[in-house]
Structure 1
Amino acid sequence: MDESPAETAPVPEVSNGWADRTPEELVAKSIAPVKKQFLCPPPIRACSNEQNDAVSGGKTKPAQTSVVKEKKSKRQLKRERQQAVKSAVGICPEVAKRGDVSRCPYNDKCRFSHDIEAYKAQKPEDIEGDCPFMTAQETCPYGLACRFLGSHKDGVEAGDVSAHRRSSEMNGLSKDVQKLLWKNKVKFPKADAKLKALGLLGHANSKIRILENKKDDQVVSNNCHVTDGNGCTELPNNSDDKMELAAEIREENGVDETFSLDESRPSKKPRSVIEEEILSGELDDGGVNATAEVVEPSCTSPEPEATADIVSPESDRSLKLHPREKKLIDFREKLYLAPLTTVGNLPFRRVCKGLGADITCGEMAMCTNLLQGQASEWALLRRHSSEDLFGVQICGAYPDTVARTVELVNQECTVDFIDINMGCPIDIVVNKGAGSALLTKPMRMKGIVQAVSGTVDCPITIKVRTAYFEGKNRIDSLIADMGNWGASAVTIHGRSRQQRYSKLADWEYVYQCARKAPDALPVLGNGDIFSYLDWNKHQAECPELSTCMIARGALVKPWIFTEIKEQRHWDISSGERLNILKDYVRLGLEHWGSDTKGVETTRRFLLEWLSYTCRYVPVGLLEVIPQRLNWRPPSYFGRDDLETLMASDSAADWVRISEMLLGKVPDGFTFAPKHKSNSYDRAENG
């Protein structure tokens, strides 16, 4: 990768097999039509320098590396963390911050090391450049632990990490509420009241009531008989159906019977830890008033809500805002950065915001993890003050779980909208009944949206795919009712779950759904937007679309927002791309920290992002513009060494780029991207 030919350089003698094809033939095969003078032979992949000549059957193949990353058990990892804390590496944060052992309030009882000299002896060399906190005219909150210690001003006392983050970041979970979540002591009066009114309280009763599925001409009498239009009376043949129907009718008539008629009968599905407390009867004594004491004072409900347990469904509906009365968000023609797993973190969103994004959304968070108070999951809800129109995305399988999560998020976070993911194709999510699995259960979708929209006044949006199975689209039959359920907007990804990310998105079906949607329900399209021409095309062909969500296109080239706003193809230089990466690193260090842990966390997420940016082919190198998202780039030289390095799909070259920005990687460092695509050398990085 050290050579880069000029634009007039001859075609290499050893081509990559595409030099003799016309641009039209390449486009037909989804190969990026790079100008012939920039094509180069594909690199020879090997796992180590000593094994580059390993050949089998006349074809070069990667040899097995001698370094295999050992998979450690949770107990072993915990033991290593404890040992690191006690060693010189785990210096006390207060001592590192102030450089004074006497500053630690725990003195000899502190579980961290206080040996400053031992810490300095083993600390890695400082990274070149300025500390991100000092450049912001602030005091660095990491003190001696900062990897940019050489750029600190002498005599300036260290600041406070939490104070710095409070000044710019929001939506942190308080320790008090987290502890209550750990102990299952948090109550959800609004969610439970709405779930009870809908007959959805608890997984055992999570089916939509039978009465809603009956024909309009059926009536129910007080003696639990069902009367059809002909005057005949009948009861269900199945005894379980009788009991369920009787329970629903008792609830319809005001009888306080929330749970199963036969308490000795086991639940159909295992209950969550929060439900166990509710179903155990603790609500009978403490009720809603206990809830107001458990959660923060701001969570105290007004007087009508305090008696939600005894309010009838009819009166409860009158207390809730109609979906049309809620605060509305004007999505029309706004540039919406999609929630992106792993890479869509707060620093990346800040980069996109600076490049023109209007709406940002946090990474998908699982409801069950949020309700358990997992700090790593709550970190996905963090918001920066620069994100003026921000939403969070959650994912759950049942109405009670999602409704309680929404109530908790609404209390603890400042958000403009909450998005419910009903389209995630990942197996681990689908197997739990969430994400795309909900597309096979429209009545459960309805129950989730109704419960959530009736719990909070915040706008509720939903994100779906066209269907679960390819060729069995069903959103067009549901789109007309989604607004009545309580959704404030619907985003449609033009692929099925079975399709995952293969083939092109079906925008014609997205248009069809947008035209069927009520005027009051904004519909957003999603899929394969990679240039301003793609954006213009979808907006012109379907005026009913409010806007288009940009996902993978922003991962590959985050300046797509600038291109759309300026209506041009930006032939961005390698230096300009490097400046964007520098901005990301600076923002990452501000978010994750400038100590060793923060530097390596920033590096890991930078490498994940670089595994996408390598797919970008500069405009000046293409025979046909614009680049399409499904094009596979051939091996090519850039116009300079840096552009050539950025075009590499080898993880070893991504690591080299990270070392330009964050210093040398630790000994034994390996990296393989989560998505595994375009990584030939996996963990070996040869």
Structure 2
Amino acid sequence: MPPMTTSTRRRALLRTSSKRKSPGDSSRESGNSQEKKSALHICPEVAKNGNVDACRYNNNCRFSHDLDAFFAQKPADLEGSCPFLSVGEPCPYGITCRFSGTHNNPVESQNPPKKSFEINSLNKDLQKLLWKNKVSFPKANAQLKLLGLVGGNKTKATPEVNQVEVHSDSLNGSDNLHLDYDNGKEAEPALITCTEKDCLEDASAVDPSRPLKKAKSLVDDERCLDDNNNGTYHMDKVFKEINVQNGPQEISPDSICSSKVDLSSKPHPRERKLIDFRGKLYLAPLTTVGNLPFRRICKVLGADITCGEMAMCTNLLQGHASEWALLRRHSSEDVFGVQICGAYPDTIARTVELIDRECLVDFVDINMGCPIDIVVNKGAGSCLLSKPMRMKSIIQAASCTINKPLTIKVRTGYFEGRNRIDSLISDISNWGASALTIHGRSRQQRYSKLADWDYIYQCARKAPDALQVLGNGDIFSYLDWNKRSAECPELSSCMIARGALIKPWIFTEIKEQRHWDISSQERFNILKDFVRFGLEHWGSDMKGVETTRHFLLEWLSYTCRYIPVGLLDVIPQRVNWRPPCYCGRNDLETMMASDSAADWIRISEMLLGKVPEGFSFTPKHKSNAYDRAENG
């Protein structure tokens, strides 16, 4: 055999390398083959229509199209009827619904179902643009430049240019912000850095290594404006301008008119329409348990104002779907706000502009009191209490970027015994905040010891008239509410947090001024409503049922602390009481009082059927009323 020449060897190597597959290709093929092998991974289009020909990808679809194999492995239907029948809508999950046997049953209710829908979803095109860092923020950038927050004081004066646009490379992994000038000069790094890339424990982050798909349409900042660029929105964006601040009212699709909204005039921060918190029952933003179905429960039981769970600004700007889900709003939430958390003014200013542009909310709340280590270590949450100048920059930049009211939530201070909000309360008003909520504990206390309401009163009396002050901590009965309102008339309202987790009917007790000796069956009916709302929100298929079960169990880890009024020697119960083991007035009440996860799972099985094989549950939240103080 003659020796191989150099050219022959090169061609042979090229042929060998062309046949060789990359590790990514093999993993993707492996994942697709495993997905195809599982008959339970039925194609969504096939499942919705019950027809194999409904999928336009045919044999190229990565999901299974084998209906016979799917029905052979599908678990038996759950008891009850499909939750979408009660709202008069066809079930979007088709044959994968765990109540699919009831889809052909007529609705028994004689009254037409009340319209129920959710808004503030993340648009797929916008998500792709956020992934590629191609969304511009002209309002936020202009305010940052006006406040001197771009480049800092140490940077030299730059020559005048036609346009300056700030891009945050932190969305793609870099920590610096850069200025891109139209005159073609090389960008210089700014002094502001953005390093808070971590998400909270309860948010599943999007894998940053996943390949970015090309957006169907590249939409710049003027995508919401008409072709003439005359400062008016198209009809699909008019929905975000609906005013829902004038008292309780239902949001309905009929309220979306075809008229255009004029954006040419921007009101002064002092002229913007405010929300009157005085005397309103305000449900606090609660991590994990304060989800949309739980807020619906609280609305039914009397809450006036609701707020979404805390969302991290960096994750919102990166287009994380799990974080954007925290901004979802139900049509029953007539006064609704979202809470965001960030460490730097540029991140927060761009987030509020994005929320103002894409979501329908009544106010935006900035969390400056979160005690969680992963948040504080990134410079956000309670860490800002020790950095008043950064607090100033954040509030000024955010308040000047949006027209909606901006509220702030803080703790008394970072270290126990070193309260400092009273010295900043006038400045917080001048910086542009409309309302301030004070949690009567320091960051170091976490949730231990009782809230310091005397200090909250002191801050409320110091606050200027333009700033509404709300108190937060240990409101667990209507007597607590009355006491706080009577002792300090300057206090606008009280935010209810753990009290609503343990007994959401606290809103009914306050409005009706009574101690409600609620029966175990009435409590069980509230859990039934939560499950129905959860299946509407997370889905009625197998995945949606287990997601609903998970959040139900998280909530039951709080409700077990409730002691029925009929069993108390001293009324009312205090939020920091640790109840001993006791027997209820019936077996169901005894089971609801158990602090064992096995009993919580039994309650979930009464509502959602048997748990999957090998199922276990551990509450995510370790902090409770009995924790010791931590030194942070």
**TM-score, length of structure 2 as denominator length:** 0.79
CA distance in 2, matches of 1:293, 1:677: 43
Query: Residues 282, 257 of structure 1: CA spacing in aligned structure 2 closer, same or farther, 3 A cutoff?
Result: closer
- Give the structure 1 partner of residue 516 of structure 2: 570
Query: Residues 439, 299 of structure 1: CA spacing in aligned structure 2 closer, same or farther, 3 A cutoff?
Result: farther
> Structure 2 residue aligned with 1:100, among 51, 72, 75?
51
Query: Residues 116, 296 of structure 1: CA spacing in aligned structure 2 closer, same or farther, 3 A cutoff?
Result: farther
| AA at the equivalent of 2:273 | K
Query: Residues 578, 283 of structure 1: CA spacing in aligned structure 2 closer, same or farther, 3 A cutoff?
Result: farther
- Give the structure 2 partner of residue 656 of structure 1: 602
Q: For 1:136-181, what per-residue CA distance to the aligned partner results, in whole angstroms no more than 9, with x for missing partners?
A: 332211111010122221799xxxxxxx999610001111111000
Q: Give 3-state SS (helix, strand or coil) of 1:476's partner.
A: helix
- Give the structure 2 partner of residue 456 of structure 1: 402
Residue identity (%): 71
Query: Residues 606, 259 of structure 1: CA spacing in aligned structure 2 closer, same or farther, 3 A cutoff?
Result: closer
- Give the structure 2 partner of residue 637 of structure 1: 583
CA distance in 1, matches of 2:575, 2:49: 50
CA distance in 2, matches of 1:626, 1:473: 30
C-alpha deviation, 1:295, in angstroms: 3.7
Corresponding position: 1:129 with 2:102? no
| AA at the equivalent of 1:616 | Y
Retained in 2: the 8 A contact 1:86–1:111? no
CA distance in 2, matches of 1:124, 1:561: 39
Stretch deviating more after TM superposition (91-100 or 550-559): 91-100
Q: Give 3-state SS (helix, strand or coil) of 1:481's partner.
A: helix
Q: Give 3-state SS (helix, strand or coil) of 1:130's partner.
A: coil
C-alpha deviation, 1:108, in angstroms: 1.2
C-alpha deviation, 1:352, in angstroms: 0.2
C-alpha deviation, 1:135, in angstroms: 2.8
C-alpha deviation, 1:393, in angstroms: 0.3
CA distance in 2, matches of 1:167, 1:636: 40
CA distance in 2, matches of 1:166, 1:135: 10
CA distance in 2, matches of 1:132, 1:674: 27
C-alpha deviation, 1:322, in angstroms: 3.1
Corresponding position: 1:118 with 2:118? no
- Give the structure 2 partner of residue 298 of structure 1: 224
> Structure 1 residue aligned with 2:459, among 495, 510, 513?
513
CA distance in 2, matches of 1:663, 1:342: 23
- Give the structure 2 partner of residue 410 of structure 1: 356
| AA at the equivalent of 1:194 | Q
CA distance in 2, matches of 1:629, 1:294: 50
- Give the structure 2 partner of residue 179 of structure 1: 128
CA distance in 2, matches of 1:362, 1:617: 28
CA distance in 2, matches of 1:547, 1:81: 54
Q: Give 3-state SS (helix, strand or coil) of 1:279's partner.
A: strand
C-alpha deviation, 1:283, in angstroms: 6.2
> Structure 2 residue aligned with 1:539, among 473, 480, 485?
485
Query: Residues 258, 151 of structure 1: CA spacing in aligned structure 2 closer, same or farther, 3 A cutoff?
Result: closer
CA distance in 2, matches of 1:283, 1:640: 74
| AA at the equivalent of 2:65 | H
Corresponding position: 1:335 with 2:285? no
Equivalent pairs, count: 531
Retained in 2: the 8 A contact 1:292–1:299? no
CA distance in 1, matches of 2:218, 2:34: 41
Corresponding position: 1:375 with 2:324? no
Corresponding position: 1:279 with 2:178? yes
Retained in 1: the 8 A contact 2:356–2:402? yes
C-alpha deviation, 1:285, in angstroms: 7.4
Query: Residues 620, 78 of structure 1: CA spacing in aligned structure 2 closer, same or farther, 3 A cutoff?
Result: farther
Stretch deviating more after TM superposition (616-625 or 321-330): 321-330
Retained in 2: the 8 A contact 1:421–1:463? yes
Q: For 1:212-256, what per-residue CA distance to the aligned partner results, in whole angstroms no more than 9, with x for missing partners?
A: xxxxxxxxxxxxxxxxxxxxxxxxxxxxxxx45xx3xx47x9799
Structure with more relative contact order (C-alpha pairs < 8 Å, separation 6 or more): 1
Query: Residues 122, 155 of structure 1: CA spacing in aligned structure 2 closer, same or farther, 3 A cutoff?
Result: farther
Q: For 1:618-648, what per-residue CA distance to the aligned partner results, in whole angstroms no more than 9, with x for missing partners?
A: 0000000000000001000000000000000
Corresponding position: 1:188 with 2:188? no
Corresponding position: 1:671 with 2:628? no
Query: Residues 610, 340 of structure 1: CA spacing in aligned structure 2 closer, same or farther, 3 A cutoff?
Result: same
Retained in 1: the 8 A contact 2:412–2:419? yes
Query: Residues 341, 90 of structure 1: CA spacing in aligned structure 2 closer, same or farther, 3 A cutoff?
Result: same
Q: For 1:404-436, what per-residue CA distance to the aligned partner results, in whole angstroms no more than 9, with x for missing partners?
A: 011001100000000000000000000000000
> Structure 2 residue aligned with 1:138, among 89, 92, 103?
89
> Structure 2 residue aligned with 1:583, among 510, 525, 529?
529
CA distance in 1, matches of 2:106, 2:479: 55
| AA at the equivalent of 1:334 | K
Query: Residues 403, 259 of structure 1: CA spacing in aligned structure 2 closer, same or farther, 3 A cutoff?
Result: closer
Equivalent positions of 1:177-256 (< 5 A) are 177-201=126-150, 205=152, 243-244=154-155, 247=156, 250=157
Q: For 1:251-275, what per-residue CA distance to the aligned partner results, in whole angstroms no more than 9, with x for missing partners?
A: 7x97999899xxxxxxxx9955498
Query: Residues 131, 390 of structure 1: CA spacing in aligned structure 2 closer, same or farther, 3 A cutoff?
Result: same
Equivalent positions of 1:236-635 (< 5 A) are 243-244=154-155, 247=156, 250=157, 271-273=170-172, 279=178, 281=180, 293-295=219-221, 297-298=223-224, 321-635=267-581
| AA at the equivalent of 1:144 | I
Retained in 2: the 8 A contact 1:611–1:678? no
Query: Residues 303, 105 of structure 1: CA spacing in aligned structure 2 closer, same or farther, 3 A cutoff?
Result: closer
Query: Residues 599, 635 of structure 1: CA spacing in aligned structure 2 closer, same or farther, 3 A cutoff?
Result: same
Q: For 1:323-363, what per-residue CA distance to the aligned partner results, in whole angstroms no more than 9, with x for missing partners?
A: 22111101000000000000000000000000000000000
C-alpha deviation, 1:520, in angstroms: 1.1
Query: Residues 275, 341 of structure 1: CA spacing in aligned structure 2 closer, same or farther, 3 A cutoff?
Result: same
Q: Give 3-state SS (helix, strand or coil) of 1:496's partner.
A: coil
C-alpha deviation, 1:321, in angstroms: 3.6
| AA at the equivalent of 1:390 | F
CA distance in 2, matches of 1:413, 1:97: 28
Output the aligned Cα RMSD.
3.2
Q: For 1:97-117, what per-residue CA distance to the aligned partner results, in whole angstroms no more than 9, with x for missing partners?
A: 111101111111111100001
Q: Which stretches of structure 1, 4 residues or longer, exceed 2 Å deviation after superposition?
A: 75-86, 135-138, 164-167, 253-260, 269-278, 282-286, 295-305, 318-323, 676-679
- Give the structure 2 partner of residue 647 of structure 1: 593
CA distance in 1, matches of 2:574, 2:85: 41
Q: Give 3-state SS (helix, strand or coil) of 2:140's partner.
A: helix
Q: Give 3-state SS (helix, strand or coil) of 1:379's partner.
A: helix
- Give the structure 2 partner of residue 109 of structure 1: 60
C-alpha deviation, 1:82, in angstroms: 7.3
CA distance in 1, matches of 2:504, 2:132: 42
Query: Residues 76, 577 of structure 1: CA spacing in aligned structure 2 closer, same or farther, 3 A cutoff?
Result: farther
CA distance in 1, matches of 2:419, 2:523: 40
CA distance in 1, matches of 2:95, 2:443: 49
CA distance in 2, matches of 1:319, 1:192: 19
- Give the structure 1 partner of residue 14 of structure 2: none
CA distance in 2, matches of 1:599, 1:406: 33
Query: Residues 147, 422 of structure 1: CA spacing in aligned structure 2 closer, same or farther, 3 A cutoff?
Result: same
Q: Give 3-state SS (helix, strand or coil) of 2:322's partner.
A: helix
CA distance in 1, matches of 2:148, 2:546: 49
